[in-house]
Amino acid sequence: MNEIAENINNIIKEVQGVGASLIAVSKTQPIKAIQDAYDGGQRDFGENKAQEMTTKYEALPKDIRWHMIGHLQRNKVKYIAPYVHLIHSVDSSRLLAEINKEALKNSRIINCLLQVHIAGEATKFGFDEQELEAFLASGELEQLTNIKVTGLMGMATFTDDKEQIDREFRGLKTLFDDFQDRFHLQNFELTELSMGMSGDYPIALRHGSTLVRVGSSIFGERNYG
């Protein structure tokens, strides 16, 4: 078995043991590295740039499920709309409306997660809790008939403080359960909770993550050149 597939094998036991799924974050990685992961059985890959993801989509087997995990500009949605499996990083209602438009053009329903801002840092993207609540209460989402919201996504603060990470993930899980109970919209069904990266996925799994997004622990440190 190649080294990348071996790394995946080690992580996936932990992830599948609690019923979650592993998304291999392949941003900046060459086609060869993704092919190695694919040969080991991995089918879910995460990218954070629309054009890079599209280039890889075109070059690689078509049964790969491509996950957009990075901040997505509205003018880039059209590149990924024909094939994207799940967009984790929806951080505004304007972006959601654009995804709906492109989904309609492609005669498909695009599954989306709403990204919630849970980290201490001010620089991370995402809805604030109150903002998200107001959006869901507005009923606006039900007009977007080519979108299905299937969950929430969050990124914890980049810190060594495990208690802070623990608090942030626990907070997102609480919000997830609360929204699941309170909002019953046609195209809103919270089943996925996307949280956890190389440094913090064991904590995320303890708090009910269903999708972990792991890059460097699989492929090694990224080289941004």
Kindly state the DSSP code that residue 160 receives in the 8-state scheme.
S
Q: How far is the CB of 27 from ligand PLP (least distance, A)?
A: 6
33 touches ligand PLP by CB under 6 A: no
In whole angstroms, what is the distance from residue 150 CA to residue 87 CA?
10
Residue with smallest beta-carbon separation from ligand PLP: 215
- Of 2 and 198, nearer to ligand PLP (C-beta) is 198
Q: Which is nearer to ligand PLP, 21 or 217 (CB)?
A: 217
Binding of ligand PLP at residue 87 (CB under 6 A)? no
Span 183-202, contacts to ligand PLP by CB under 6 A: 197-199
**Which two three-digit tokens encode residue 155?**
């990124």
213 is a contact residue toward ligand PLP (CB under 6 A): yes
The single residue among 7, 48, 111, 187 that binds ligand PLP, judged by CB under 6 A, is 48
The residue (of 71 and 108) whose beta carbon lies closer to ligand PLP is 71
Stretch that binds ligand PLP, among 58-66, 163-171, 172-180, 211-219 (CB under 6 A): 211-219
What is the smallest separation between the CB atom of 215 and ligand PLP, expressed in angstroms?
A: 3
CA nearest to 144, candidates 70, 92, 193, 191: 92
* Sequence-distant contacts of 50-53: CB under 8 A, at least 24 apart: 50/76, 50/77, 50/79, 50/80, 51/76, 51/79, 52/27, 52/28, 53/79, 53/80, 53/84
Is residue 82 close enough to count as binding ligand PLP by CB under 6 A?
no
Q: Under the criterion CB under 6 A, does residue 69 sit at the interface with ligand PLP? A: yes
User: Given the complex with ligand PLP, which of 106 and 217 has the nearer CB atom?
Assistant: 217
Asked whether 68 and 113 are in contact (CB, 8 A), the reply is: no
Q: CA 103 to CA 82: how far, in whole Å?
A: 7
Could you give the CA distance from residue 137 to residue 6 in angstroms, rounded to a whole number?
45
Q: Does 112 bind ligand PLP (CB under 6 A)?
A: no
Does residue 215 touch ligand PLP according to CB under 6 A? yes
| Residue among 4, 25, 112, 165 that touches ligand PLP (CB under 6 A) | 25
Nearest to 21 by CA among 109, 86, 84: 86
Element of type H or E holding 34: helix 31-39
Residues found near ligand PLP in the complex (CB under 6 A): 25, 27, 48, 69-70, 155, 197-199, 213-217
